[in-house]
Amino acid sequence: MIKPEYCSDIAKTGGAMIKNVILRTENLSKSYQMGEIEVKALIDTSFEIYEGEFVVILGPSGSGKSTLLNIIGGMDTPTDGRVFMRENEITAFNEKQLTDYRRKKIGFVFQFYNIMASLTAEENVELATEISEDPLDIGQVMIDVGLGERRDHFPSQLSGGEQQRVSIARAVAKNPEILLCDEPTGALDFTTGVTILSLLKKVNREMGKTVVVITHNISIGEMADRVIKMHSGEIFEILENKNPIEPERIQW
Ligand SMILES: Nc1ncnc2c1ncn2[C@@H]1O[C@H](COP(=O)(O)OP(=O)(O)O)[C@@H](O)[C@H]1O
Ligand SMILES: [Mg+2]
């Protein structure tokens, strides 16, 4: 059931397709006080993410991308503004609600994988599903991410790309509403990076997950349904890609 105040956030595209807003921000700002100096990491940022989209947030280093992702992921709080996941205001949540939100609604993927060295690939995924509400079948997810043969390997026995697959499996197996990925290819060589982007695209297309990828790499924007461009803490442009390209055709 769509609440009345929510209706204005439904965008109609082309024909009969209706896009539902899954997440939106209202005038988000974040400042840090560094002695005498106020660092404005995020300035009056408003945007929407639609269900089922593949969105790239693009901007140079220091433009506020991680700050933004951390706030919408419930890991950080803004100085001003609000975040909504569907009809719920995340920025009004207490600590317990925020913990629940992070555990159940969000899948995180980071540049340096952040998986546990003492656990096998599959145990890393299992651990995450233990705190989630409605997890997917772990064995199937391991196969889906291309780790069917490697599930009993420890991180030290896996390549960087495989470790990133573990972290994607971990995020996906929780069956979250949305996947938030902060520079997921930042530590990988070009070829491996492309395979990881293909996997994220597969998660988006075949598992129907909404995916947000943060990057400073302009080329990655070409595979997105929409590109949100940031500079100096501000969104200066939101582009829609009518024909996003397949990750395999990206060059950088
Ligand atoms: N904890 C912090 N304390 C002070 N300044 C910070 C902190 N986190 C981020 N910043 C500053 O906020 C700005 C945006 O940073 P960040 O969101 O990490 O950008 P990006 O992810 O685009 O590289 C930068 O100027 C950064 O130095
Ligand atoms: Mg960053």
Closest C-alpha residue for ligand 1 atom 24? 62
pLDDT digits (tens, 9 = 90+) for 193-235: 999 999 999 999 999 999 999 999 999 999 999 999 999 999 9
What integer pLDDT is reported at residue 17 of this predicted model? 65
Can you state the angle between helices 121-130 and 160-173, rounded to 10 degrees? 20
Contact 28, 80 (CB under 8 A): yes
Ligand 1 neighbour 63 (Cβ under 6 A): yes
Instruction: Give CA–CA dist 67/233, Å, rounded.
Output: 9
Point out the ligand 1 atom lying closest to the alpha carbon of residue 34. Answer: 4
- Taking the CA of 79 as reference, the closest ligand is 1
> What CA–CA distances, in Å, run from 252 to 8, 63, 183, 190?
38, 21, 15, 7
pTM of the model: 0.92
For residue 106, the cross-strand partners are 178
Q: Residue 136 carries which DSSP code?
A: P
pLDDT digits (tens, 9 = 90+) for 132-184: 889 999 999 999 999 999 999 999 999 999 999 999 999 999 999 999 999 99
Closest C-alpha residue for ligand 1 atom 4? 32
What integer pLDDT is reported at residue 131 of this predicted model? 86
Q: What is the mean pLDDT of residues 6-19?
A: 52
What is the distance in A from the centroid of ligand 2 to the CA of 5? Answer: 33
Ligand 1 neighbour 41 (Cβ under 6 A): yes
Contacts of 37 (CB under 8 A, 6+ apart): none
- Taking the CA of 183 as reference, the closest ligand is 2
CATH fold of the domain at 53-82+93-249: Rossmann fold (3.40.50)
Instruction: Label residue 1 by pLDDT band (50, 70, 90).
Output: very low
Residue 8 tokens, joined? 């204005």
Instruction: Label residue 8 by pLDDT band (50, 70, 90).
Output: very low
